[in-house]
Amino acid sequence: MLRKLSKTKKASIVVIATYVLSQILKLGSNLILTRLLAPEFFGFMAFAFSILVLLTMLCDLGVNTSLVRNQDSETKEFRNTAFTLQVTVGFIIATLVLCLALAIYLGQEFGVLIGQNIYAHSDTPILLLLVAIQPIITAFRSTKVAFASKHMDYGVLSSIEIASQVIGSVVSIGLAYFYPSLWGLIFASLLAVFINVVAGHIFLTGERDAFGWNALIFKRIFSFGKWVVLSSLVTATLTQVDKLIFAAYITPEQMGVYAIAGLLFLSIQQVILTINSKVLFPKFSAAYNAGENLQLVFYNVRKKIDFFAFFCFATVFFCAKTIVDFLFSADYALAGDLLQLLSLQLLFISVSFSTSIYMAIGKPKLATIVTGIEALTKIALILILFELYGFYIAILGSSLYGVISFCVTVYINRHIQLFDLKKELLSLVSIIPCLLLGYLAGIVIYFLSRFIG
């Protein structure tokens, strides 16, 4: 049956299946870990994971995007130059993290960082020293990973991702059982990344990576990548800034509860974002290179994924408390309320499709502008609302940052002939049946949880 499907649909099926399996593994391992470890460990891991995401996106420098986007990227000179640039940036980022660890240590020693927050905790500098290993490992990721994405060949790539995650989960659970500490979780996370990188070199088909340099190719990558890296930075800031700010105000235990709510929310949000980055961006790039009607391609995608996003929002909003109460102990009960607030972000997730279009047509500056406005809006809302109304209102306000970014993309899309008012209104109307379906799904989930419980 799969043979009759288009390459894009096959890739979508593989990506979705891989992601669903990945989230099941992640949820299952975290359910076990919450029974072996105190909430504060998840608070520290949420902080560490935010740093890891920032590092991963910074290490890219647009190299991966350039390898996917450029038609001549599989030549030896292009590939080797990209690989060399990737490794160089990885070591630079690791050095910056070590400097950050030193700054926090000195801040603690001189009494600048005080209180019961994560930044003032004595383990934080050591935590960052270990996190600095991450960019060094990912710097050596094979360019064959990018080429597999370019050709939508996700079979082996997905197997590597799942296998490395399984090993990391088993190790983390084992260490948590025999040696319950933060360091065991960090070690398991780094081990999974290391296995993923090594497996990419061994099992993916293609030419071996080697060091090399071509100044003209570097200029091509950098001229495009300078906006990509800025866009990556603000995107990472957008997704992780809440935890980095809250880490200065709330206790590790409170951060742990917030981390569980964030984990459940991301399991839904990342399905859409993963399809966007691994399937839709290559599709938009191919459509642009082939001279197809991008507006038609764009809205054909939107009408399907908007419906899915609205349905997910309604389902999560109506049954968030039921899900948390069923899966976790009473220590994490407040995560249900937080999950409801976070789910509001799904209403504006279509903004990410516009930024993929901008990247595909060679205008990363537009994507950077949109994500930069998103990041600044979210930061401002968190800081102002936390100071005035506290933790919960800050989360509510920061979840609605998408209103501003949606308006910005509408303005941009009108100027690049990508906007269609009629189709936008049809997308907006589709939220009504989604709310009804989500409410019914919430009722079903509630009674199933009562029956099983």
The pLDDT, as a whole number, for residue 395 is 92
Q: What percent of the chain has pLDDT over 70?
A: 94
User: Does residue 240 or residue 228 have the better pLDDT?
Assistant: 240
* pTM summary value: 0.78
Write the pLDDT tens digit of every residue in 265-288.
Answer: 988 887 788 777 777 777 888 888
Euclidean distance between CA atoms 179 and 19, whole angstroms: 30
Q: What pLDDT is recorded for position 1?
A: 46
Average pLDDT, the chain: 85
Measured between alpha carbons, how far is residue 22 from residues 18, 255, 260, 303, 363 in Å? Answer: 6, 23, 16, 26, 32
Percent pLDDT > 90 in the chain is 19
| CA neighbor of 230 nearest in space, from 430, 366, 400 | 366
53-67, 234-248, 285-299: the lowest-pLDDT one? 53-67
Closest to 26 (Cα-Cα) out of 204, 168, 136: 168
DSSP assignment string, 385-442 = HHHHH-HHHHHHHHHTTHHHHHHHHHHHHHHTT---HHHHHHHHHTHHHHHHHHHHHH
pLDDT tens sequence across 352-371: 778 888 888 888 788 888 88
Largest CA distance in the chain: 66
Helices (H) and strands (E) in the chain, counts: 20, 0
